[in-house]
């Protein structure tokens, strides 16, 4: 059996009561019942092994690609600038941190050949060198 990951969901008291009632009808506790529902819902979903950031919309990556046309070769640039303030400011702080870390790995592994790792600013913001060949 694979290890389980804890998730939390907040629902109204009436929803929790209904889930408990439905679980008891199946001879389960509420936790087991909800696990079964989620397992059934996700059974047919296939996630490619190389997908790292399911929490980032594909349009964000399109924005990054489109940003290259506005930048000058040899310029230093940040992920925040590539995405733009409007989109960047919609992200939670944890999303910004995680995406920043994963984006760095993507750049290092060559997924964005236009970019190479640059220096970090004093605020710890990773910079990238824009070196379109």
CA 1 to each of CA 4, 72, 94: distance values in angstroms, whole numbers, following the listed order: 9, 52, 30
Containing 121, the helix (H) or strand (E) segment is none
As a whole number of angstroms, the distance between CA 71 and CA 65 comes to 11
> Where residue 111 falls among pLDDT bands split at 50, 70, 90?
confident
Percent of the chain's residues with pLDDT above 70 = 89
As a whole number of angstroms, the distance between CA 14 and CA 127 comes to 49
- pLDDT at 60 exceeding the cut of 90: no
């Amino acid at each position: 059996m694979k290890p389980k990951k804890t998730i939390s969901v907040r629902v109204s008291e009436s929803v929790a009561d209904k889930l408990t009632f439905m679980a008891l009808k199946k001879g389960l506790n509420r936790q087991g019942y909800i696990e079964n529902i989620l397992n059934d819902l996700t059974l047919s979903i296939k996630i490619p092994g190389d997908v790292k950031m399911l929490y980032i919309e594909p349009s964000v990556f399109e924005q990054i690609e489109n940003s290259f046309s506005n930048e000058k070769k040899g310029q230093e640039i940040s992920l925040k600038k590539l995405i733009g303030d409007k989109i960047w400011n919609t992200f939670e702080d944890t999303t910004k941190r995680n995406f920043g870390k994963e984006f760095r790995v993507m750049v290092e592994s060559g997924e964005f050949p236009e970019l190479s790792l640059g220096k970090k600013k004093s605020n710890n913001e990773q910079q990238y060198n824009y070196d379109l060949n």
